[in-house]
Structure 1
């Protein structure tokens, strides 16, 4: 369920002096080590301290981090105590500075880190805010109050998420928390203590949290009054739910996009969280081949292919070949003369071995009839030139961008392949949920002065991972 860190170092820095040194003290091992993960396969990482209970999904944090911030953490008066949820995408420079700070930052129980003091009291009976001498406290100090605070837009705009929304604890327990960090070996924590911890039980802990999230929950006094700030709501959503009409011709009907209210959006976020957490996209198969497209979007792509009936489809990001095979299967019925050009840095043999596929898409008659793979970067001049020559003067051309989702890469793909899209057809920018592809798509449409639009009608199934990515050429 969790990738192991590729390196883990022990630290004896001064900010850990207040932690009991007994190995039997739960929390000791995790509070005295820093795990470093290889992050290249992720767009962002969620760090959830072991005493943190999620009360709702946290996609807002990932949307913020996708905008280019290194760090998004907790804000509000509870953050020093409950600041155990962070979304991170640190640069190498930031990681380097964090490591130095861990070894050099002086911490004292009287003046905090580097003499910066403590946050305001989190409870009327408390004299000061929590001393935050643990991992979560270090992160909170490093980004918001430490030497790096205010030196970049990323750090100035950190802490956009109010932890009250994500982590709730009865107020009478708060002042007791410093005495409850450690529990003697073999004894059970008090019922009113926070959820206590052990790295060894990480997977079980997560399973329990998932069960808690879906189980009926007793009303918590005051929790109903917690409201989301305006910064939480994705800009693409409105508060009104527009019921979809029955479509006879999606090219002609003037349908409004379906924008769910906040309550439904939370349910969608929970589904998306489970979909990604359980890696369901890696388990899906089409004709035996791994097929990563989520089901609602796969259906909409089928509708677009039927409406447009393209003669050429250009796909960036072949991966296991499931999407190319899916589209070829559909085009057998829609337009048998259609050709599909799919691009990837790696040959299919690489992905076939990586996913341990029992079925090779190249053995399918649907692949053999119309799919051609080009191996190389989709943004290389050589590959782009080959694609343009293969397309020639095809009457109807459709493009699907699903390779590397970094902003600059998507911008370059759009620049290279959007001219090939014929009027009325589409360029589908996939996985806009990650933030950077959506930014690239929105900027492209804005610059076209009406020549392109985001066809929101294609979002009528409500759940989509490509919101604002259904780009249609109008002229």
Structure 2
């Protein structure tokens, strides 16, 4: 089934299909399968905080905030972006779910940003992490080393765009990432040295169409 997923994604990319998805009117660069997977994990874990690296156009933050709204309680998204566009900031701050969003502008792995994140999640009994910023091996591995420890046992760190390892090399011409240098290779390196996490293949098998094969990491220890 992964081969079918890869073939479909390769063809869809030729038509920029992946950039057409919206959630509550906001651009959101994920597949419907990933949206289903994340909502199921949020419902299952009921996190008080979701820490998310990468804001981009804002759709991912709105999606996570809306999932927490459906779950109920006081859950919030702590979202990190190195260069947050002012129009995105204003749109998110005016959103009806703004009370569930905390926006932090800064390099995701800097000491100042990590301190700000820890301050915002202090006291949270359950924390989930979604990594969706820069897709090079080096950066994703640094984020995993920096953020995985924030994940509470039984919860998840979700690494987006691991599919890059399986797509044709021509799709990455001129990009700083590609085959052998992407989120999937970072996940493999991380799991080889951190026994707290395991890949949850069951959620991936159920949704099938995903940009994150092998990227749903459950903290089991």
Give TM class, smaller chain.
0.7 to 0.9
2:185 corresponds to 1:455: no
Alignment correspondent of 1:297: 34
- Aligned residues of 2:81 and 2:107 also touching (Cα < 8 A): yes
- Aligned residues of 2:30 and 2:211 also touching (Cα < 8 A): no
Give the 5 Å matches for 1:79-98. none
2:135 corresponds to 1:405: yes
Alignment correspondent of 1:242: none
- Aligned residues of 1:311 and 1:335 also touching (Cα < 8 A): no
Alignment correspondent of 1:281: 18
**Over aligned residues, Cα RMSD in angstroms?**
1.8
Alignment correspondent of 2:50: 313
Q: In 2, Cα distance between the equivalents of 1:439 and 1:312?
A: 27
2:59 corresponds to 1:340: no
- The structure whose Rg is larger is 1
Give the superposition deviation at 1:280: 2.0
Q: In 2, Cα distance between the equivalents of 1:349 and 1:315?
A: 18
**Structure 2: gaps of 5 or more residues:** 166-181
- Aligned residues of 1:341 and 1:387 also touching (Cα < 8 A): yes
Give the superposition deviation at 1:427: 0.3
Alignment correspondent of 1:206: none
- Ranked by relative contact order (alpha carbons within 8 Å, sequence separation 6 or more), the top structure is 2
Q: In 1, Cα distance between the equivalents of 2:147 and 2:208?
A: 28
Aligned length: 204
**Structure 1: gaps of 5 or more residues:** 1-259, 353-358
Give the 5 Å matches for 1:163-202. none
Q: In 2, Cα distance between the equivalents of 1:323 and 1:289?
A: 8
Q: In 2, Cα distance between the equivalents of 1:277 and 1:335?
A: 39
2:156 corresponds to 1:426: yes
Q: In 2, Cα distance between the equivalents of 1:382 and 1:434?
A: 30
Give the 5 Å matches for 1:30-49. none
3-state DSSP of counterpart to 1:464:
coil
3-state DSSP of counterpart to 1:315:
strand
Q: In 1, Cα distance between the equivalents of 2:59 and 2:154?
A: 26
Give the superposition deviation at 1:270: 2.9
Q: CA distance change for structure 1 residues 351 and 332 in 2, over 3 Å: closer, same or farther?
A: closer
Alignment correspondent of 1:474: 220
Q: TM-score, normalised by structure 1?
A: 0.41
- Aligned residues of 1:452 and 1:472 also touching (Cα < 8 A): yes
Alignment correspondent of 2:121: 391
Give the 5 Å matches for 1:112-127. none
Q: In 2, Cα distance between the equivalents of 1:387 and 1:443?
A: 24
